[in-house]
Chains A and B, each alone.
Chain A
Amino acid sequence: QKEVEQNSGPLSVPEGAIASLNCTYSDRGSQSFFWYRQYSGKSPELIMSIYSNGDKEDGRFTAQLNKASQYVSLLIRDSQPSDSATYLCAVIPGGTSYGKLTFGQGTILTVHP
């Protein structure tokens, strides 16, 4: 079982719709969770971090964390073509060394006009 799992997609949504990206993780001791966006040929850029159960909103992005279900999601409201990218879920598992991330395989999102 992979430590961090994401649907690889591709996920296709129309412009203006809500895109929902999901991620599950295996280590119950995990405390820190991140969503990164990666455009083709570029390095990942941080979109959201979340550490507590519940929702965290930042502009059009909302991260949701449910530690009991070991589930973290990212909602993108009013999706734009510029949101088309690969979205990487990353987790710092419990007991790992300082800041060491484990990544999911990424979900490809395509927003079509």
Chain B
Amino acid sequence: GAVVSQHPSRVICKSGTSVKIECRSLDFQATTMFWYRQFPKQSLMLMATSNEGSKATYEQGVEKDKFLINHASLTLSTLTVTSAHPEDSSFYICSAPSRTEGTDTQYFGPGTRLTVL
């Protein structure tokens, strides 16, 4: 299957700092990528849709000024958590669709565990 990478895999930062997470599609191009957040013992919550060449689309309740998304190229999307606070501590996962058998299947990155002290 298609491969999606994320960097870093784990980050610990102080409250008030900003953290950038990268998501790359390694063997295919992705004009669209998705960013999810997962709290312990909960399912994945879609935060936003990252669109190459245009603004990201945010889900209801997600602050676009706090979670900055930039889809810099057909293989790279970044999520920046600005002025991070302890409640932003979570598992952040990106995904990208790859077309196989005429339909689009989402492939997930390995995730980034963010801990804000």
Please report A residues at the B interface, Cβ cutoff 8 Å.
Answer: 32, 34, 36, 41-46, 49, 51, 88, 90, 97-106
Within 1-58 of B, Cβ neighbours of A (below 8 Å) are at: 1, 32, 34, 42-44, 46, 49, 57
Provide the bound-state CA to CA distance between A49 and B49, in Å. Answer: 21
Please report B residues at the A interface, Cβ cutoff 8 Å.
Answer: 1, 32, 34, 42-44, 46, 49, 57, 91, 93, 95, 97, 103-111, 113
Provide the bound-state CA to CA distance between A105 and B43, in Å. Answer: 5
Q: Which residues of B contact A99 (CB under 8 A)?
A: 32, 34, 97, 104, 106
Complex contact A100–B103 (CB within 8 A) = no
Q: Given A46-B106, A49-B103, are A100 and B49 also a contact pair (CB < 8 Å)?
A: yes
SS of B interface (majority): strand
Q: A41-B91, A97-B49, A99-B104 given. 6 additional CB < 8 A pairs?
A: A43-B110, A46-B106, A90-B106, A98-B97, A99-B34, A100-B49
Q: Which residues of B contact A105 (CB under 8 A)?
A: 42-43
Within the complex, the shortest CB–CB distance from A13 to chain B, in Å, comes to: 21
Complex contact A44–B44 (CB within 8 A) = yes
Complex contact B1–A100 (CB within 8 A) = no
Q: Considering only CB atoms, which chain B residue lies closest to A36 in the complex?
A: B108
